[in-house]
Chains A and B, each alone.
Chain A
């Protein structure tokens, strides 16, 4: 993301997950699209409230797993049949049942690595900087016991004073402006 100036968004702090979900659901209904919730543990209802239902991690995992399995199986076949065939008492060189085990392990290996690193990549992590950490109350609560709703300035509906008034309508603990 290129460096920006000005306001990133407005951050409202809530005490309970229930308050956050109600606010997020209402904001989404009122037409807000550039918004996000921040919670200290996974809150599925909050993700649904802001309209986030599906993700691509399972697809990445499937593709990774298939590629890992196919790669190992082909490698085994190539080695055992073409590159280094061993004739042991006339047994067939293409002895596929024996090749299943390493191929199985590599399916799991690559599926697992794809799930983990794919998830991080889709999340845009690792990120060395994020404007939210500029908010004075964010680091205190977001990873411990508080629930945040952020309306981002990139939303076409965003107007600093209007949005602030709008968020205060949800009776949060505080509403703070977050700078880039």
Chain B
């Protein structure tokens, strides 16, 4: 984008590139370490943290209530019925998993592309991934009806001599999501080990020293260790990249393999993956903007990050737009009566409003405004936009699940869908659980990877050696 739009005297701009700096000026190894560890190692927890923590915790209790009642009564308390047997649970599952994908994209794909700017946001984006997967993974489990028998989905030698059906995308999901959760946790933890070493060496209280000492596994920063560590990180990134693409692909197969109009389409895998990254980046913004303000991290999470995330959202948003366009095109081009009716019903049927909410939130608002750099670096606007896109992406899944199911081939089997209060409580409850877990993470673990930030600092440049400039 044109540099002239921005004031040249702005200290946040690197005069040599005309881009926003990845790290604010005047930071040193010590100041960066100090800034990041102080957030965790301070004995005083900010009041605002307690307020949000109790809100998150309170909402998590709502989830507990809703799930307890569900276990006692059964899935009948939800709005699901024939023909819409997949309601909020599947919408929320896909929405949460999608949010998680941006974390993996930032930590893995951008690492492989050597995008130095990602370093500051990678840790909490990964944490976001894990907590989003926690929320997501719960939904299929509680949707199976008898969640205490969920282990039946795994192949194990049982006395019933029954084995899973490996031709079903739902069983593929079990393997995709469980692998995704495991690899995300491992990647996140391994990435944190050196930073836990820093925490161990800077902690004051006996308990903190002991806990960080234990979890840092005795990390001492030997360069031999670092080299193996770097290799392992790169390999994990290289493995997480095809993994993240496969996870949402497999989830889209849950729909695309069925014969239902509106589901049975080959555009689903790429369109689901792009949508996942789109909503995931929106969620990273939703988290990053208040965090950097609250903990004064503007020097580490700079306008550059917000700007770049805006660009990624613009790109993925257009892939999503292409997906929507292709659905409409195929409804016409397939010359299938059912496809054409499905599309008409989706737009103008009794639940057509949800389609237009989606179009407004995912296309009309973001894809027109994200072109403007002034808006991309306007923090308040980006925060607003992130909420808009998250809403839009939730409605996208609502549209896919509900408006395809409620009026299928046979008019005599048509019905409608109305979520009950238990559906809403479960959904709002997972938002609470997510907030709760995320705030715990921010309080006890270093939310910005210190060792990766150190590599970006000017002091890390070795003289008489042409090293790639940080972040470019």
Chain A contacts to B: CB under 8 angstroms: 16-18, 21, 36-47, 50, 52, 55, 57-58, 61, 65, 72, 75-76, 79-80, 83-84, 86, 95, 98-99, 101-102, 104-106, 108-109, 111-113, 115-116, 118-120, 122-123, 125-130, 132-133, 138-140, 142-145
Best-surrounded residue of A42, A86, A133 (most CB of chain B within 10 A): A42
A42 touches B179 (CB 8 A): no
Q: Which residue of chain A has the shortest Cβ distance to B196 in the bound complex?
A: A143
User: For residue B240, which residues in chain A have a CB less than 8 angstroms away from its CB?
Assistant: 108, 112
Best-surrounded residue of B220, B223, B451 (most CB of chain A within 10 A): B223
A116 touches B243 (CB 8 A): no
User: For residue B460, which residues in chain A have a CB less than 8 angstroms away from its CB?
Assistant: 17, 41
User: For residue A106, which residues in chain B have a CB less than 8 angstroms away from its CB?
Assistant: 175, 179
B231 touches A42 (CB 8 A): no
9 pairs across A/B with beta carbons < 8 Å?
A41-B455, A42-B226, A52-B224, A61-B232, A108-B243, A112-B183, A112-B243, A143-B198, A145-B33
**What is the number of residues of chain B that contact chain A, defined by CB distance less than 8 Å?**
64
Is B235 located at the chain interface by the 8 A CB criterion?
yes
Write the nearest CB–CB distance from B213 to chain A, whole angstroms.
Answer: 9
Known A-B contacts A105-B246, A144-B202; the reply to A119 vs B228 at CB < 8 A is yes
Is B147 located at the chain interface by the 8 A CB criterion?
no
Task: Pick from B175, B186, B218, B225: contact of A112, CB below 8 A.
Answer: B186
A47 touches B226 (CB 8 A): yes
Q: Which residue of chain B has the shortest Cβ distance to A50 in the bound complex?
A: B223
Is B384 located at the chain interface by the 8 A CB criterion?
no
Q: Which residue of chain A has the shortest Cβ distance to B29 in the bound complex?
A: A145
User: For residue A40, which residues in chain B have a CB less than 8 angstroms away from its CB?
Assistant: 29, 33, 198, 221, 451, 454
Write the nearest CB–CB distance from B430 to chain A, whole angstroms.
Answer: 24
Write the nearest CB–CB distance from B442 to chain A, whole angstroms.
Answer: 21
User: For residue B165, which residues in chain A have a CB less than 8 angstroms away from its CB?
Assistant: 86
Is B219 located at the chain interface by the 8 A CB criterion?
yes
B232 touches A98 (CB 8 A): no
A17 touches B217 (CB 8 A): no
Is B452 located at the chain interface by the 8 A CB criterion?
yes
A61 touches B455 (CB 8 A): no
Write the nearest CB–CB distance from B236 to chain A, whole angstroms.
Answer: 5
B172 touches A109 (CB 8 A): no
B33 touches A95 (CB 8 A): no
User: For residue B28, which residues in chain A have a CB less than 8 angstroms away from its CB?
Assistant: 145
Is B164 located at the chain interface by the 8 A CB criterion?
yes
* 1/0 contact string of B421-451 vs chain A (CB within 8 Å): 0000000000000000000000000000001
Known A-B contacts A18-B462, A139-B201; the reply to A129 vs B218 at CB < 8 A is yes
B218 touches A125 (CB 8 A): yes
* 1/0 contact string of B166-195 vs chain A (CB within 8 Å): 110101100110010011001100100110
Is B293 located at the chain interface by the 8 A CB criterion?
no
**Complex CA distance for A38 and B219, rounded to whole angstroms:** 10
B30 touches A144 (CB 8 A): yes
Best-surrounded residue of B176, B193, B224 (most CB of chain A within 10 A): B224
Known A-B contacts A36-B223, A42-B451, A52-B223; the reply to A105 vs B462 at CB < 8 A is no
Write the nearest CB–CB distance from A27 to chain B, whole angstroms.
Answer: 13
Task: Pick from A18, A41, A115: contact of B235, CB below 8 A.
Answer: A115
Write the nearest CB–CB distance from B154 to chain A, whole angstroms.
Answer: 11
Q: Which residue of chain A has the shortest Cβ distance to B174 in the bound complex?
A: A102
Write the nearest CB–CB distance from A111 to chain B, whole angstroms.
Answer: 5
Is B368 located at the chain interface by the 8 A CB criterion?
no
